[in-house]
């Protein structure tokens, strides 16, 4: 019952999409030069040969698909990667290998999805995590294109919400040929909701290479920092910057030259964070306006896109945001792969498995407030052996948890073989 209603509503709203997208573009949430892609118009020609379409919602999901992109190219596929955010488009545009291209995903309205599929004609559709868009799934299924959900996850909260609409979610999941979940718990929840074929194969994000860094920029920032003690609060959300600033003030009593890096999850917040730091009596510098790190700089705000790999390489102590003032946490795998000790708050539900592994084996430390954050940072700074041991454990643990890409490619062999036979 809900599927026809949803489809009718999407069709009815489609004519107003131009205004909707334009208003989002005015807020920086859409690329105004590429709005046509959101309505299914292609900016590029379809490449010759077999085409795999991979979709992830945003930066994290898109980057997690990179190991799979490379393996599919190795199997002779051209690869199209779609995401829905401006930031993900910029980052993937820089990191996709030859043989892969990025487009914005079409809005989930039947005419836009049909236009997209008519142009790209994918042979395989792979979507990441929990991107279950009804009209898109139905349209792809109707064209007999195999659908695989990879890195699938379903939180208890989302599971409870979907259980209120059992027929709707069962019908949608029934159109997915194969669900490859991050954990046994995710797999069990998907099975209960009606997914026909489910397996737990681990998290693709463990297989992603650390983000790159420009060597010249790294050398320049390292020169400006010099021998100063430094730590980084990464992917912070509103409220966490003030906690980091409180911790900074406490720590400067013992480490007068301390430099705190704040890297907000949403870079447009940079100026407000500068104002907050200055209101706290601290000298702050803003990367987006080219401020250098001076000997008197106490707080440096990394409000740029695509430089997280640069920031992660500057310090062996990283606090991951959205875990103290936010909920769900942020992915700690990238800094862990680069050999950093990880600090985080208690709210880590979106990455519970990796944080549990890191916490239980000495690669990460939980903090509950600004005072605790300062105390744990001081313990790491005061004991280089403890810091090195924690950082090495962090790197080792995430290395041991990899291998999901191999399992996904093995699961896809059946569909790839069928394509080869049908095209001969």
Which one from 30, 37, 48, 61 is the annotated catalytic residue?
61
- Whether 61 contacts 84, CB under 8 Å: no
DSSP class per residue in 66-97: HHHHHHHHHTT-EEEEEES-HHHHHHHHHHPP
* pTM confidence score: 0.84
Confidence tier at 424 by pLDDT (50, 70, 90): low
Q: Is residue 61 flagged as an active site residue?
A: yes
Give the residue from 13, 173, 28 showing the smallest Cα distance to 107: 13
Span 100-131, pLDDT tens digits: 999 999 999 999 999 999 999 999 999 999 88
279 vs 257, 267, 283, 293, 339, CA distance in Å?
20, 20, 9, 19, 34
Q: How far is CA 297 from the centre of its chain?
A: 30
Give the residue from 398, 298, 299 showing the smallest Cα distance to 340: 398
Span 81-104, pLDDT tens digits: 999 999 899 999 999 999 999 999
pLDDT of residue 349: 86
Within 10 angstroms of residue 304's Cβ, the number of other Cβ atoms is 15
Query: Is residue 423 pLDDT above 70, yes or no?
Result: no
- Share of residues in the chain with pLDDT > 90 (%): 86
Confidence tier at 416 by pLDDT (50, 70, 90): confident
> If you average pLDDT over every residue of the chain, what do you get?
94
């Amino acid at each position: 019952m809900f599927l026809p209603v949803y489809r009718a509503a999407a069709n009815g709203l489609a004519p107003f999409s131009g205004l909707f997208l334009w208003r989002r573009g005015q807020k920086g949430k859409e690329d105004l030069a590429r709005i046509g892609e959101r309505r299914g118009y292609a900016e590029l020609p379809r490449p010759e040969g077999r085409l795999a379409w991979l979709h992830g919602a945003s930066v994290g999901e898109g980057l997690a698909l990179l190991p799979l992109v490379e393996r599919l190219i190795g199997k002779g596929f051209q690869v199209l990667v779609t995401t829905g955010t401006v930031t993900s488009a910029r980052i993937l545009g820089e990191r996709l290998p030859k043989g892969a291209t990025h487009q914005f995903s079409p809005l989930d309205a039947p005419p836009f999805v049909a236009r997209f599929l008519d142009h790209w004609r994918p042979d395989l559709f792979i979507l990441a995590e929990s991107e279950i868009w009804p009209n898109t799934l139905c349209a792809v299924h109707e064209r007999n294109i195999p659908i695989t959900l990879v890195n699938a996850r379903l939180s208890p909260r989302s599971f409870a919400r979907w259980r209120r609409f059992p027929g709707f979610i069962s019908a949608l999941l029934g159109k997915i040929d194969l669900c490859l979940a991050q954990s046994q718990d995710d797999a069990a929840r998907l099975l209960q909701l009606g997914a026909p074929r489910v397996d737990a194969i681990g998290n693709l994000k463990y297989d992603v290479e650390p983000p790159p860094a420009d060597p010249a920029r790294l050398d320049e920032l390292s020169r400006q920092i010099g021998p100063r003690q430094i730590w980084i609060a990464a992917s912070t959300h509103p409220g966490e910057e003030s906690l980091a600033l409180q911790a900074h003030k406490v720590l400067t009593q013992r480490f007068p030259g301390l430099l705190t890096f704040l890297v907000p999850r949403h870079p447009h917040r940079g100026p407000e964070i500068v104002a907050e730091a200055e209101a706290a009596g601290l000298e702050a510098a803003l990367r987006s306006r080219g401020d250098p790190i001076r000997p008197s700089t106490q707080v440096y705000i990394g409000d740029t896109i695509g430089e997280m790999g640069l920031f992660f390489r500057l310090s062996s102590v990283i606090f991951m945001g959205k875990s103290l003032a936010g909920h769900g946490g942020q992915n700690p795998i990238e800094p862990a792969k680069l050999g950093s000790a990880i600090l985080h708050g208690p709210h880590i539900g979106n990455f519970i498995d990796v944080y549990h592994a890191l916490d239980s084996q000495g690669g990460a430390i939980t903090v509950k407030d600004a005072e605790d954050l300062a105390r744990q940072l001081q313990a790491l700074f005061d004991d280089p052996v403890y810091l090195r041991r924690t950082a090495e454990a962090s790197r080792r643990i995430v290395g041991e948890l990899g291998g999901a890409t191999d399992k996904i490619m093995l699961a896809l062999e059946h569909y790839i073989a069928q394509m080869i036979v049908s095209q001969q």
